[in-house]
Chains A and B, each alone.
Chain A
Amino acid sequence: MNTPATDVDSTLDATARARDLVGVSRLTNSALTGWLHGLPGVDQVGCEARAAGLGTRSIKTTSKAWAIDLAISMIDLTTLEGADTRGRVRGLAAKALLPDPSDLSTPRPAAVCVYGDMVTTAKEVLGDSGVKVAAVATAFPSGRASMAVKLADTQDAVRAGADEIDMVIDRGAFLSGDYLTVFHQIAEVKKACVRADGSAARLKVIMETGELVTYDNVRRASWLSMLAGGDFIKTSTGKIQPAATLPVTLIMLEAVRDWRDLTGTMVGVKPAGGIKTSKDAIKFLVTVHEIAGEDWLDNHWFRFGASSLLNDLLLQRQRMTTGAYSGANYIADDSPSTAY
């Protein structure tokens, strides 16, 4: 499955690689349109039925314990509020380092996800713990800014030490059929992720699937994002409803699966927004498992963009460890929610 079906020279830049994959001598919007519109359609009802079917898998006992730990390890613990302060970000980062002080075997989330100006603060706490710092950039969440601003936003976060950049695509350009603009923006941001030492922050491309509306659009946006060099495709900013639904994630998992069949390259998937319960998270893991395959069951290739999900996973974890249902007072949290 890892054998590339198409011979692609990975040293080429995004445009050259895209020309190769699309099979054109010049990457025009009409070439991209023809390619993206040539992808198989998605039947909404069938897709949702498939997702619902996966959602009925019953994950119990040892599998559930394993899945809960895996889910915790996949979380991008996120705060993206105008009211974010250094204190709140420090608290969140501390939680990432020690999610459950009552059980030191609890795995750590994959990353802390913040606005660009909070990268330094998060990095101070996380250091070289292995927990990554992800920064949203490119005029998140709307993306309505000039390219210069978007690139500066990205470079700023990368210079501040961000390990990962979560960019937004120009949904307006996408919906008006200007795929080439979306392509170039992703490719440019990808270049901006390169650090002085030649290494690069991993780029997550937020498609804001709630604004794309149709699954056909989600599929096309996924392929466009991968073609332009995205390391991850991500559903949502968390600011728009619906956000990370299971069927949308299923479409994206099909896309990365088929992309690997075509190119031999793996791309990550990140559903973000709206995944709040352990039960939900496990449905996503089942979907990863049965659609993309086990290779994606790793936090290098699959993430949950979430905030309250972690606490529910910890509750379930305590329940499985102690045998008793737990409560909010047993979940240490720097900004406790009254929801528990």
Chain B
Amino acid sequence: MPTFEYAPAPESRAVVDLQSSYGLFINGEFVDGGGTSFKSISPATEEVLAEVSEATDADIDKAVAAARSAYTRVWSRMSGADRGKYLYRIARILQERAREFAVLETLDNGKPIKESRDVDVPIAAAHFFYHAGWADKLEYASLGTNPRPHGVVGQIIPWNFPLLMLAWKIAPALATGNTVVLKPAETTPLTALLFAEVCQQAELPPGVVNIVTGSGPTGQAIVDHPGIDKIAFTGSTGVGKMIARSIAGTRKKATLELGGKAANIVFDDAPIDQAVEGIVNGIFFNQGHVCCAGSRLLVQESIADEFDRRLKRRLGTLRVGDPLDKNTDVGAINSRAQLDRIVALTDVGEGEGAVRWDSGCALPTKGFWFRPTIFTGVSQTHRIAQEEIFGPVLSVLTFRTPQEAVAKANNTPYGLSAGIWTEKGSRILWMADQLKAGVVWANTFNQFDPTSPFGGYKESGYGREGGRHGLEAYVKTGA
């Protein structure tokens, strides 16, 4: 009997019109940056996609000045209703150009096209739609009296959800009347630059959104710039702490969405097949490059062996490979550096005595790849149970009682998310109360919505993004 081989089903690249080089987007125009330009590559093939400018301190000065001028002269004077209309326009253009954004995101990031198509791009558009409606309704948002913008907001976003994180940042900032200087991650700048074109198409007033590309020093220049009133950062806890130190003693506000080491807790009465899906989605979605990834599976001892068997069987059906193929479940690791980190930490895991397993699936020869991997026999004291791997690696631990599950879940400096799998309603509510995490998914995982606040406890950062709560970070209130 022949097997059911899925023939390649690649999404066409023709929809994307890549330029060979991109400048910075400042004051509504693309301008050359003063630094050394760098290449953005496709992590799936190591093909160079485009050259991108590096913004220097002087470029950041220009961007902040453009944002300040746009804030003072245009954006802060515009009615909320009109600001909202610009956001609606942006949302519509994102929908119209959804395919283009999805393909470009997959090329630049390495994530499967089905995720960029079905998650990143539609939710990004939804964020603009949601916040567009807030722009003229801020007085109703229970934010305090006289809600008003901070002014110029500096935003620094990571490489795991480039366009979506841009939307999470820019939509609320603009809706509340701030102007923006945003830096995308150096490995994934292209959809942000394509978004700059969207701003042009939407005829957004020049300077309201400025996009500057570069790496760490460019981000530091934004954080340190005296013309910036507020920082919004998503990225590692290490960099988040640096930012918190940098702005200490100033009046700059900060929202920090940082790392996580979420526990995904499966009880013996869980809806078992959905729990398997939820665990798989929790850690292998987006190659595990997700701050809220369910990287620690806590499974009740009474079903641990059975669950392990089901999980591994399911992993055998995950399709790893060409991110542009519509049937790909797991794409490429975003960069050589990230792959090296994953390899190093998994080697540590093996060295510490955890049992390593992967499906042994074939991997492409070029590009950065890592097989979905499970470690069993993991203890809380293992580094792979403590450190954020940010890759497709699941550490499996066991527990005996709900109390023990909570204690283990909370036994981490992080507190971004958690998962609970049980059919018992009262236990879900008890667990949800006990878990120190900003987002608790019960009998589901990795769900995102513009109306739903997202953000962490403890060292996972502070502030919330999304929903009414997300607006708080972008306004000041009171007399």
Contact = CB atoms under 8 A, between A and B. Distances in A.
Interface residues of B, number: 25
A21 B443 CA distance: 30
Interface stretch (A8-16, A97-105, A268-276, A290-298): A290-298
A59 B7 contact: yes
Contact of B7 (A40, A50, A56, A63): A63
A62 B274 contact: no
B273 A42 contact: yes
A86 B356 CA distance: 64
A50 B326 contact: no
Given A63-B5, A63-B6, A254-B273, A41 B444 contact: no
A2 interface: no
Contacts of A45: 443-444
Given A43-B443, A294-B4, A297-B1, A56 B274 contact: no
Contacts of B9: 58-60
Given A56-B326, A58-B326, A66-B2, A46 B271 contact: yes
B317 interface: yes
Interface in B1-44: 1-9
A158 to B, nearest CB: 30
B271 A50 contact: no
A298 B272 CA distance: 27
A56 B326 CA distance: 8
Contacts of B273: 40, 42, 46-47, 50, 254
A32 interface: no
A67 B274 CA distance: 27
B118 interface: yes
Contacts of B436: none
B1 A294 contact: yes
A46 B281 CA distance: 11
Interface residues of A, number: 28
Given A40-B272, A297-B1, A46 B7 contact: no
Contact of B443 (A46, A57, A66, A290): A46
B6 A59 contact: yes
Contacts of A74: none
A49 B9 CA distance: 22
A169 B27 CA distance: 71
Contacts of A290: 317
A57 B4 contact: no
A289 interface: yes
Contacts of B443: 43, 45-46
B277 interface: yes
Contacts of B106: none
A173 to B, nearest CB: 25
Interface string B103-124: 0000000000010001000000
A310 interface: no
Given A41-B423, A43-B443, A46-B277, A60 B7 contact: yes
Nearest to B113: A58
B269 interface: yes
A43 B271 CA distance: 6
B178 interface: no
B278 interface: yes
A47 B444 CA distance: 11
B277 A50 contact: yes
A295 to B, nearest CB: 9
A285 interface: yes
Contacts of A46: 271, 273-274, 277-278, 443-444
A147 B442 CA distance: 45
Contacts of B423: 41
A59 B327 CA distance: 8
A254 B272 CA distance: 11
A271 to B, nearest CB: 17
B234 to A, nearest CB: 26
28 contacts: A40-B269, A40-B271, A41-B269, A41-B270, A41-B271, A41-B423, A42-B273, A42-B274, A45-B443, A46-B273, A47-B273, A50-B273, A50-B274, A50-B277, A56-B118, A56-B326, A57-B327, A58-B6, A58-B327, A62-B7, A63-B7, A66-B4, A285-B4, A286-B4, A289-B4, A294-B1, A294-B3, A297-B4
8 closest Cβ contacts across the A-B interface?
A46-B274, A58-B9, A58-B326, A40-B272, A43-B271, A43-B274, A63-B7, A41-B423
Given A40-B272, A254-B273, A285-B4, 12 more contacts: A40-B271, A40-B273, A42-B274, A43-B444, A47-B273, A50-B273, A56-B114, A57-B6, A57-B327, A60-B8, A63-B5, A294-B4
